[in-house]
Structure 1
Amino acid sequence: MANVLPAERRLEVLAALVNGTSIRAASRMTGVHQDTIGRFGQAIGEGCARLHDRLVRDLTCALVDLDEQHSWCRKRQNKVDAAKDDAGSVGEQWTWAAICRTSKLIVAWHVGKRDQESADALVEDVRARLAVMPQITTDGLGLYAQPIAANFGRAVPYMQTVKNFSSRPGKPGTSEKFAVERGVDFIQKRTIFGTPDPAKATNYAIERSNLTARQWNARLRRRTLAFSKKLSRHCAAVALHYVYVNLCHIPRNMRVTPAMAAGITDTAWTLEMLMDAALEEPAGEKPEPQPLAIPKPEGTARALPAGRGWLRVLPGGSAPSAPSAPQPPPVAPVATGAATTEPAAPQQPVTVDRTGQLDLFGWRPKPGVPAQLRLFDDPPDDAE
C-alpha cells in the first residue's frame, strides 16, 4: 500500500500552509514530517498552477495593476554570490503579479529575477488571459513599458504612478539606525501610452495584495527563516496562495470571492474542494492571446468601422465661436496735401473679436495708410 496521508490530515496541513505557517511550524502542529509537508505542498501548488491556467481565461477586466515584491530562495544572497549565480535559483526572487482592481482577482503571476525577461513573461501571460483592452497601472519601473507596447500596442491606456521619497528625521528617542527615515512626499502620475484616466490610475489594490501575500505565505515573509530552500517549492507556494485567494477567500469589503466577481465560478470553494481539484488537475495548455475588444469610453463616443475603437470627445475642448458681425463699408481715404470742401466722414468704430477667430473676409483697409499690407488686390477704377 502506498504511504499516503489521510484526507483529514492533509486538510490540516493545507489549512496551516494557506494561513501563513512555515513548514517546520506546520510539522509541529500536525505531527507530519516536514519532508512530507514539503512534497505535499509542492504537489498541490503545481496543481493549483494548472487549475489557474484552465479557469482564468477570457477575462473582461477594465482596470489591471502590475507590481513586484521581493523574497529569498535558498539563502540571503549578497552581490558577490549574485554574480556567481548563473541559474538564477539562488538568492533574490521577485514575485511579479497582476490584479484586476474591480474583482480583486489575481490575473497572472511570475517568479523570477527583477529583469526584463520576468517583466516580459508577466505581461505576456496577462495579455493571453484578457478579452478586453484594459487600463494598465504600474509603478515607475521602466521594465514594463516595452512588453506592454509589444503585447497591447501603443494605444493601450497605460499610466505610471511614481512615488517620490525624501529623507526626514526619525522619531525622538530612537536608535541611530532609525535616526533618519524615508517617507513619500507625493505621487506623480505619468501617461506612457494612450489616454488613461488619471482618476483611475492607482496601485492600492496590488499593494494590498502584496501585503496579504506576505501575511499568508510564509515563504515571502521578511526577516525570517521560512523562505524556500528550493525554487520549485517556492513557485508552488506562490501558486497555492494566489489560487486560494482567488477561489476561497472572500474579502471583507466584498460578499463574493474574486473568482465569483470575475464570473469564473458561481460559489466559494472550500479547502477540500481546492485540494481535490488541484491534486486531480491534469496537465493542460497555456491560454493563447485572443483579439481584444475595446470597451466603450464614458461620455460622448462614436464607434469606428471594423471594431477599431471609439472616437470620443476629450474634456477641456471649446465650442466653435460664433461668426463675427458684418463689418461696416470702407471709408474713402482723404487725399493728402489738397484742401477739401466737404468734411471727411466720421470713422466707424473697429469691432474687435475676442474669440480668437481670424476673419480674413471681414478685413478692410485703414484710411490714410497707403503703405499698408494688402491681402486682396484693389478693384480697378472702372469696375462697376
Structure 2
Amino acid sequence: MANVLPAERRLEVLAALVNGTSIRAASRMTGVHQDTIGRFGQAIGEGCARLHDRMVRDLTSPLVDLDEMHSWVSRRQVHVDPAKHDAATSGETWTWAAICRTSKLIIAWHVGKRDQESADALVEDVRARLAVMPQITTDGLGLYAQPIAANFGRAVPYMQTVKNFSSRPGKPGTSEKFAVERGVDFIQKRAIFGTPDPAKATNFAIERSNLTARQWNARLRRRTLAFSKKLSRHRAAIALHYTYTNLCHIPRNMRITPAMAAGITDTVWTLEELMVAALEEPAGEKPEPQPLAIPKPEGPARELPGGRGWLRVLPGGSAPTAPSAPQPPPVAAAPAIPQPEPAATGQAAAPAQPPAPDREPVGQLDLLSWRPRPREPVQLSLFGDPPEQ
C-alpha cells in the first residue's frame, strides 16, 4: 500500500499552512510528521505555480504596483562564502511581487536576490501576462527602470514614490532601545517615463499585500525560527500563498475574490478545489508577451494614427493668446521753470523760453517687426561747398 495521506488529513494540513502555521506547529496539530508536511507543501506549491501560469494571462490591469520583500533562507546571515555554500540559495532572499491595484490580484512574483537579474525576471513576467498598457508605480529602487523601459517602452506611464525618513525622539518612558524612532516626513513622487497621473501613484496595495503575506506565511515573518531551510520549499510556500489569496480569499473591502474581480474565474474556490487542481495540474508553457493595447485616457483625447496611443490634454497649462501691442509708458511732465519778475526800473522782461519738445517714448521693441527708417538722399560735393555770396 502506498504511503499517501487521506484527503481529509491533507486538507487539514493545507488549512494549517495557508493560515500562517509553521511546519512544526502543523505537525503537532495534525499528528503528521514534519517531513511529510514539507514534501506535501512543496508538491502543492509547485502545482499552484503551474496553475497560476495557466490561468493568469491577458489581464487588463490599469494600475500595477511593484515591490520587494525581505526574508531568510537556510541561515540568518547576510554574507555567505560561495566556496562553502551556494550564495544564490543561502542568506538574504527577496520576494518580488506585482499586484493589480483595482482587483488586488497578484499578477506575478519572483524569489531571488535583490539584484538586477531578479528585477528583470519580475518585469518580464508581468509584461507577458498583460494585454493593456498600465500605469506602473514602484518605490525609489533604481533596478526597475531598465527592465520597464526594455519591456514596456519609454512611453509607459511609470512613476516612483520615494519615502523620506528622519529620526525623531521616541515616546517618553520607553527604553533606551526605542529612544529614537524613524518616521516618514513626506513622500516624493517623480515621473520616470511617460505622463503618469500623480493622483494614482501609490504603493499602498502592494505594501498591504506584503503585510498579509507575513501574517499568513510563517516563512516570511521577522525574528522567528520558522524561516525556510531550502530555497525550493520557500518558493513553493510563496506560490501557495499567492495562489490561495487570488482564488480563495475575499479581501475585507471587497465582496469577491481578486481572481473574480480580474475576470479569471466566476466563483470563489474552496480549499479542497485548490488542492485537487494544484496536485493535478500538468506542466505547461509560460505565457508569452502579446501586443499591448493603449487604453483611452480620461478627459479630452485624440487617437494617434496607427494605434500608437492617444494625444491628451495635461492639466496646468493655459491657452495661447494673441500678443498685444506694447503700451508706451506714461511720460512725466517737465517741471515748470520759474521766471524772474521784471525789475522795478521799468525794463521789459526777457522773453520766456519755449518749452522743450517732448521726446518720443521708447517702449518694448519687436524684433520681428523692426524696419530701418528711410533717409533722404544727400548729394555729395567733390569740391566742397560753394562760397557764400
| Alignment TM class, shorter chain as reference | 0.7 to 0.9
Cα distance change of structure 1 residues 241 and 301 upon mapping to structure 2, 3 Å threshold = same
Q: Which residue of 2 aligns with 1:212?
A: 212
Report the aligned-residue RMSD: 2.4
Cα distance between partner residues in 2 of 1:96 and 1:214: 14
Cα distance between partner residues in 2 of 1:309 and 1:271: 43
Contact 1:247 1:268 in 2 (8 A): yes
| More off after superposition, 178-187 vs 232-241 | 178-187
Q: Which residue of 2 aligns with 1:366?
A: none
Q: Which residue of 1 aligns with 2:269?
A: 269
Q: Which residue of 1 aligns with 2:380?
A: none
| More off after superposition, 197-206 vs 317-326 | 317-326
Q: Which residue of 2 aligns with 1:367?
A: none
Q: Which residue of 2 aligns with 1:176?
A: 176
Number of residue equivalences: 351
Cα distance between partner residues in 2 of 1:266 and 1:348: 83
Cα distance between partner residues in 1 of 2:254 and 2:310: 32
The answer for unaligned runs of 5 or more in structure 1 is: 328-342, 353-357, 364-374
Q: Which residue of 1 aligns with 2:341?
A: none
Cα distance change of structure 1 residues 236 and 80 upon mapping to structure 2, 3 Å threshold = closer
Q: Which residue of 2 aligns with 1:61?
A: 61
Q: Which residue of 1 aligns with 2:387?
A: none
Cα distance between partner residues in 1 of 2:25 and 2:263: 36
Q: Does 1:228 align with 2:228?
A: yes
Q: Which residue of 2 aligns with 1:120?
A: 120
Shift of 1:192: 0.8
Which residue type is aligned with residue 139 of structure 1? D
Cα distance between partner residues in 2 of 1:147 and 1:24: 40
Cα distance between partner residues in 2 of 1:77 and 1:314: 49
Shift of 1:143: 0.7
The answer for unaligned runs of 5 or more in structure 2 is: 328-354, 378-389
Cα distance between partner residues in 1 of 2:285 and 2:318: 52
Cα distance between partner residues in 2 of 1:123 and 1:24: 35
1:376 aligned to which of 364, 371, 376: 371
Cα distance between partner residues in 2 of 1:30 and 1:173: 44
Q: Which residue of 1 aligns with 2:238?
A: 238
Cα distance between partner residues in 1 of 2:181 and 2:318: 47
Cα distance change of structure 1 residues 94 and 349 upon mapping to structure 2, 3 Å threshold = same
Which residue type is aligned with residue 293 of structure 2? A
Shift of 1:4: 1.0
Q: Which residue of 2 aligns with 1:340?
A: none
Cα distance between partner residues in 2 of 1:251 and 1:280: 27
Contact 1:92 1:113 in 2 (8 A): yes
Q: Which residue of 2 aligns with 1:251?
A: 251
Cα distance between partner residues in 2 of 1:131 and 1:120: 19
Alignment of 1:120-139 (within 5 A): 120-139=120-139
Q: Secondary structure at the match of 2:192?
A: strand
TM-score of the two chains, using structure 1 as the length reference: 0.86
Residue-by-residue CA offset, 1:262-292 (whole Å, 9 max, x unaligned):
0000111000110010000000000001111
Which residue type is aligned with residue 71 of structure 1? S
Percent identity between matched residues is: 87
Q: Does 1:28 align with 2:28?
A: yes
Cα distance between partner residues in 2 of 1:319 and 1:90: 60
Contact 2:248 2:268 in 1 (8 A): yes
Which residue type is aligned with residue 302 of structure 2? R
TM-score of the two chains, using structure 2 as the length reference: 0.85
- Structure 1 residue runs of 4 or more that deviate by more than 4 Å after TM superposition: 80-85, 343-352, 358-361, 377-382
Cα distance between partner residues in 2 of 1:314 and 1:348: 45
Cα distance between partner residues in 1 of 2:262 and 2:66: 18
Q: Secondary structure at the match of 1:214?
A: helix
